[in-house]
């Protein structure tokens, strides 16, 4: 019965409802507007914008139990590093959980050393990764390595490797040198 009612409704709609044909619409015409000069107040009325730093703040992630593991110290390469001889050392300072911590690298330029701040670093109980800021001529260093001993790193004997990994030198984003490097801890008596 319901099927019969449905068919009757559809059929009567087709008989009694007339559809009006739809006229195609014209594409609207776009007219060019006249340009009117905009007058601005004299430039002396505007204060200069404050300078914006192009370099983001360095990011240092420390993810290890500071009561059990202490990587603080100055790390010096052990042995020759082909193509990376100017890389002098790097050091880690991260004392309290609420402090940011510091990670710097030192490179030799002519007769002097220069500090490069890390733009990114990640230190865990087993691994260390860092990337330095760029020098004026586009040189950056990256390191990806593994700590070879736990607990306090600074009590290792001088000359003994405490960290091993790959040190990469890039110039304007292109790799120019790479070496597997071992680092020992340097005790400066402080």
Which residues are CB-neighbours of 188 under 8 A, at least 6 positions away? 74
DSSP string covering 48-113, please?
PPPP--SSPPPEEEEES-TTT-B--EEEEEES--TT-TTEEEEEEE--STTS--EEEEEEEETTEE
Strand partners, 146: 127, 164
Q: Are 128 and 71 in contact (CB under 8 A)?
A: yes
Q: Are 62 and 102 in contact (CB under 8 A)?
A: no
> Among 141, 139, 136, 121, which Cα is nearest to 181's?
141
Where do the structural domains in the chain lie, given as residue ranges? 59-186
In the predicted structure, residue 129 carries a pLDDT above the cut 80: yes
pLDDT band at 190 (very low <50, low <70, confident <90, very high): very low
In the predicted structure, residue 145 carries a pLDDT above the cut 90: yes
- Give the β-pairing of 73-78 and 127-132: unpaired
pLDDT band at 187 (very low <50, low <70, confident <90, very high): low
Q: What radius of gyration do the chain's Cα atoms show?
A: 34
Q: pTM (2 decimals)?
A: 0.64
Average the pLDDT over 34-60 and give the result: 56
Neighbours of 178 (CB within 10 A): 16
User: pLDDT of 7-37, one tens digit each?
Assistant: 566 666 666 665 666 666 666 565 555 555 5
């Amino acid at each position: 019965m319901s099927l019969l009612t449905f068919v009757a409704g559809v059929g009567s709609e087709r008989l009694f409802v007339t559809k009006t044909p739809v006229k195609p619409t014209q594409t609207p015409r776009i007219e060019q507007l006249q340009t009117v000069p905009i007058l601005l107040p004299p430039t002396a009325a505007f204060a200069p914008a404050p300078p914006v730093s192009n370099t983001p703040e360095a990011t240092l992630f420390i993810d290890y139990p500071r009561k059990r593991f202490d990587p603080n110290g100055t790390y010096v390469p052990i042995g020759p590093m082909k193509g990376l001889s100017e890389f002098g050392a790097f050091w880690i300072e991260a004392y309290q959980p609420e402090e940011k911590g510091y990670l710097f690298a030192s490179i030799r330029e002519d007769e002097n050393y220069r500090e490069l701040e890390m733009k990114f670093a990640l230190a865990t109980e087993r691994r260390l990764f860092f990337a330095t800021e760029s020098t004026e001529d586009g040189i950056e260093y990256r390191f990806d390595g593994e700590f070879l001993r736990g607990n306090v790193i600074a009590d290792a004997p001088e000359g003994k490797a405490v960290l091993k990994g790959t040190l990469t030198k890039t110039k304007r984003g292109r790799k120019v040198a790479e070496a597997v490097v071992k680092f020992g801890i340097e005790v400066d008596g402080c």
